[in-house]
Structures are given as structure tokens and as C-alpha cells.
Amino acid sequence: MFRLKKDICFQRGWLRRFLIIKLIVVCFLFSYAFKKPNTSKSLFKVFRDCVHPRLLPLKDKYTEFYFSFTNIVRECDILQEYQSLDVRTTPNRDEVKYVVLPRKNETLTMVTLGIGQDIKAEIKLNELYPNIEFYGSDPSSIVNKDLYENKLGGKFYKYAISGERGMKNSRVFQETRRYKEEITEHVGAEYFLKYFVKRSRIDIFWIDVEGNEFSFLDQVHNGGTIDKEGIKICQMNVEIHNALLETGEKEKEKFHDFIFKVLEDEKYIFMKPNFIDVEKYRFIRLFLVNVGDEECVKLYVKE
């Protein structure tokens, strides 16, 4: 009789432990099944799944790629997943800049490279979100310094920003509203961000440096100079020119390589492309959003 009771107690204890273990397993599977997806990973995946198959047939066909890029990428601008980004427009004198507004109130850092005597978009941005520190650089201080410091309340620096320091060729916007090639003082982009802006996170970055953009864009890739300095850029508006400081074919190749490297990095998505053909000048305007950096994602991507 004593042994029978002992066996029954043992069986009950074993059954209790079994049920507890089973309950733990069920709870784990339930929580895993309903776990929130990684928004940034899914956002890049749907972007890449849309863009990459369309661009891949043009790989190494630099000219065709350059002229087809805008229409191809526009086909993917309607992705439903982009609703996780609060994208707004800020018009300039002759263009539209795009910005993703943050999900929570923080002081943002905004950098303009190439002011071009026009800060209408920056002023509109400041109206949309007043808590911004502005840093701007242009090889010409004429008009630009007064606009950026006195009207916008930002900090102005008289430099052309490119890949390295030195006296180099620049296309400078004149008071006549025409560009003129001049030898100006250049500062490397990573040097400017590290020693002048002094921020590890650049929230909003607008770059129009008339052909010097490629030496900058190379630095934002994984393993690039800016990336190695620990500086993250959450979003960018960039003008990508053709046949300004180098031959058209060479710059088309650089653009092609930049885009495929972006897809390889899995850090930025790009959208809102616009192909501009004015007189003898051709360039592409493009908006890029960082969905690979955790800090940028938490601030700008809705769950």
C-alpha cells in the first residue's frame, strides 16, 4: 500500500513537470509566432526584391543603366511598406527635397553641402520640425553665408567638400546665377563631419557639390571612411551629376557601381528619383534612407 501511494505520487509529480514543460514550450512557440517582424529588415527586403531584379539586366551597361534608372526605381516608389516612413516634401527654388520626420522629439543635425544661394527648403524644413541644428558649406561665401547664418540661424563654412583636402577644381555658383569653374579649398567629407560638425549621427544630409559627390558617396558604404569614423547618416538628398569634372562615361560607371554597392551593403533604400536634363547638363536627384542602422531606424521608421 505504501509503495502504491509512492508510485501514484511519483506519477503525479512527473505529470506535473511534463505539463509545466509543455506549457513553457507552447508559450515560447506562441510568442515566436506573434513576434513583431524586424521592420528595417523587411523594409530593405521588399525594396531590394522590387528594385534589384529590374536593375540586374542592366548590370555593366553603364549608359543604358544611367538613362533607365529613374523610371525603373519609380516603379517601386509605391511599395506599401514605405508607409512606415513619414516622408514630407520641402521645395527649393527649382527642386524638391524629401525628408523623413522623426517618430519622437529629438534635436536633429542637418548638413547642407552646396548651398547654391538658396535655403528655401531648409526654411520649410525648419517650419515642419523646428528642433534642428544646421551646418552648411559652400566654396563661395557670397550670399550663402548671410542666408545660412543670419536667415536660417545655422553655421556656415567656406569649403568645397569632396574626398580629400587641398586646392582643387570646383564649379561655383555665381551671383549671375551661372556656374564658373574655380580653384577652391577642399576638405574631405569625413574630416568636415568629424571636426566641424562634430556629431556621430547626421539626421538629414543634402549634397549638391557639382561633380564632387562621387568621392563623398564612396565614403558612406560599409567600410568607407565615414563609416569607419563611426558617423551615421540617416537620410540623404543627393544630386548625382554626369560629365562635369570627368568624362560622361566614367561618371556613368561610378553611378552604376555606387547603386549596386548600396544594394550589396543592405543599409540604404533609395526612392524619389528624378532625371534632370537642362541645356547641356544631366544629373539624377535621389533620396536615400538608412534602414540598416539601429539608431536611425528607431528614430525614423515606424514599427
Task: Read off the pLDDT of residues 156-206 as tens digits, 9 standing for 90 and up.
Answer: 999 888 766 645 555 555 555 555 565 566 688 898 999 999 999 999 999
Q: Work out the average pLDDT over 82-100.
A: 95
pLDDT at 57 over 80: yes
pLDDT at 254 over 60: yes
Q: Work out the average pLDDT over 89-111.
A: 96
pLDDT at 40 over 50: yes
Beta bridge partners of 179: 173
Domain 38-300 in CATH 3.90.25.10? no
Q: Work out the average pLDDT over 274-302.
A: 92
pLDDT at 31 over 90: no
For 119, half-sphere exposure in the C-beta direction (CA atoms, 13 angstrom radius) is 28
- Read off the pLDDT band of 104 (50, 70, 90): very high
Q: Work out the average pLDDT over 4-8.
A: 51
pLDDT at 65 over 90: yes
The pLDDT assigned to 36 comes to: 46
Top pLDDT among 290 and 42 is at 290
Q: Is the Cβ–Cβ distance between 285 and 239 less than 8 Å?
A: yes
List phi, psi (to 5°) of 263.
-65, -35
- Read off the pLDDT band of 19 (50, 70, 90): low
Beta bridge partners of 187: 161
In whole angstroms, what is the distance from residue 232 CA to residue 200 CA? 6
Q: What ranges make up the beta strands (E) of the chain?
A: 87-91, 96-100, 108-113, 132-137, 155-157, 160-162, 166-173, 179-188, 201-202, 204-207, 232-233, 235-242, 268-278, 281-290
pLDDT at 52 over 90: yes
Mean model confidence pLDDT for the chain: 84
